[in-house]
Structure 1
Amino acid sequence: MNEEIEVYGDDDGIMLLGDSEDIRQALAELQISEEHTTDISKAAILKTAHRATKMFSKAQDRSGRWVKLTKESAQKARKHGLLRNNSTGNFMGVIGKGGKGGIKGNVQFEKIAGGFNPAKVANVEMLMLTMALEQAMKEMTDYLKQIDAKVDQVLRQQKNAELAKFLSVAGLVSEAENELSHIGSLSDATWDQLSNSAQTVNEVQQYSLLQLKDIAEKITSSVNDTRTTKDALVKARSGIGDWLAVAADCLRMRDRIDMLKVQRFIDTDINPDLLSKHRFVIADNRRARYHSITDATAKLQQAIKQAVQGKDDTMRVILLPMDAPVVIREGNEIASSLARFDKALGLEYKTPHFSEKQWNQAMGEVGQSIANSTEQLMQQTRSTLGEGAKQIGNVANEAGNQIKKAFGNFPKLR
């Protein structure tokens, strides 16, 4: 490694600035695959916004890579001693040049290559925010394509004038993005049109979360009756998918608006300290939005678990052979859809799989229980009843054979 690598980080990602070859070595030391990083020169905002390109020109003079912060990469950042800026709460530090063990822990930020510069830090932090926004929008777009979401249809079916406004916001945002890509800046008129759009999106998001909360409560209230649970889950499955899609599109729309907002702040040429504060507010509000949604999905996951647990027990499967299996299957389908959504949010959620007990299997367990009880009875009475015990065994075996013929296979009595 010939030169020092500047390392910046926040709650969303880590950025490395320096010589391209040195960055490759630094990524290797951090055990981060280069294919999992993004070249900052390909950031969308640098392709569309003229002032942003000028603003980030110093960062562009050096190669840069951004990597989304995962649980694993966050641990690596802490391991290698990156410091936190007291005013912003973000990570910073350097990867030193020369020799093994190039990571320098507890390094004063003022000593990095190029020196400490509030404007530079503010610019880099804002660039990191745009990279995180871009990545999140891509992931939400991929998710909506994967589930073939029909958000506009879902909203129109509600016959709610406020929800219908969301569709007009989508049009305004697309027009603003088109203006930015062709002109490199947003006009005051365009921004005025967008001024209330975030509130509209928030209202639709809150409505979708209320729908998911209502579904979770209905599932929870059904847990004491298998047939009611079955009906609740069958009805809930499509509704959950629809409202998760609406919530996902709301998150994506707010990120698109935030990206335009970043451009607006850059165009006003505000001072570095105020720029950093704006970045902090945008990031903090995003975390709050994501938390409100993950809180709703967590309640749904818990409701599904409570509804499905115990529905595959032996007697329920035997007595309700048409209902109990449906509960398990519907529970698995909903759990899978929630897991896909959480994955799109960048969360690590392992899809639970509830086992579906077959009717023959349940009958086999009943038969085995009878066999065990008969064997135990024979052992207890053999010493005193002698030949009579054999008769008991023969009677039990005959009873078992009759059950077997009527209900299915289970282990033969001894």
Structure 2
Amino acid sequence: MLLYLSIFTILISFVLLYHNWGLNKNAIYLTFVFILTSIFGIAHYLITSGGSRFWLAIFYNNFAALMFLIGPFLYFYIRNTLTDRYSLSKKDWLHFIPTLIAFIGSVPYIFQSFDKKLEIADKIIQNPDIIEEIDVNIFYTMGQSFVFRCSIAFLYLIGCIYLLWKLYPSETKEKQIPKNQLIITYRWLIILITNLSFIFVSFILLAISSEHSVPSKTINDGQVLYIIAGLAYSIMSFSLILFPEILYGIPRRNEAVTPKKKKVKNKIAPEEDPFFDMYKAILKYLEEEKPFLNPDFSVSDIALYLKAPQNHVSYCITYLMETKFSKLKSALRIKHALELLKKGSNSLLTIEAIGKQSGFKTRSNFYAAFKEETGFTPTEYINNEISETIR
């Protein structure tokens, strides 16, 4: 399970990176957090129950130095997301020092022959307790490395929680930020940090246990902690699917700010939103192409025409047009039907035919939508128009 989950997370990380590259490069940091935690999960699986000497030789300790980057990358992602930037300052490079030290210490192990690594893998498979005797780093043992990595990651997590609290926009600043985007971002960050908290705390406890017992006993005694960490890791990975705005890309907030701000009932005007240009493109497409006249018209038709992710189109309809797609589609069709009726098309076409020309598949659907939109049935509307004309 852990192996498949780790592979799935790596795949979804590349989806995240691909769709966010042009919109928000902070996704690079989040992608590395997911990939590195996945590599850690794969390595742990191979040690405890993998049984593959080849893959264990590849994953065991070769990527250990990179695990020190999980904390810094998480910190960069959350800080830059909350402050609307993606570049690193000169001071930020200090965060890479533990990784550099770990890499230098691992050089003798990393660059030894693969045959030697296969021998080490065989020994670990036969007896996991042999891990304590393997020289993986010239500065510290594998057990100490595990403690250092978990401790550093946990400290960064605490720093991220502090940032989330400290950088929450004040009432004044909140008015200058697209509200829906702010809500989506904070919900996602809270879920991300909550799940990482369970994972990091679980491994901190395992790291403490490893200092007082042999690896095999730590593995056996830590099954509950493994389950907790596994559940949290599962939720963290699959939560991206619940936040398509994050997975498929949402621009940085400052790219949406325009010189003139128009307040509408204490809400940020649509032109303040990162997707305002797409919102205008959708309106133009609906007005000029009238795709809603096709009975099978769907959100995917708009996405294909604009060559944009479907969730971006859904975002524009839900938050900028402030309606549901079904209601938008129905309203546009009824508007078209009213135009036909006003032109006198009912004298040439039956009401059912007007409904079909407006995109409705059945007469009953047309009548129901017409009644909901105008308060009249098509027949009542026509009779009312005739009465008004006679008067």
TM-score, L = length of structure 1: 0.28
Larger Rg: 1 or 2? 1
Give 1 or 2: higher strand fraction.
1
**Bigger helix fraction:** 2
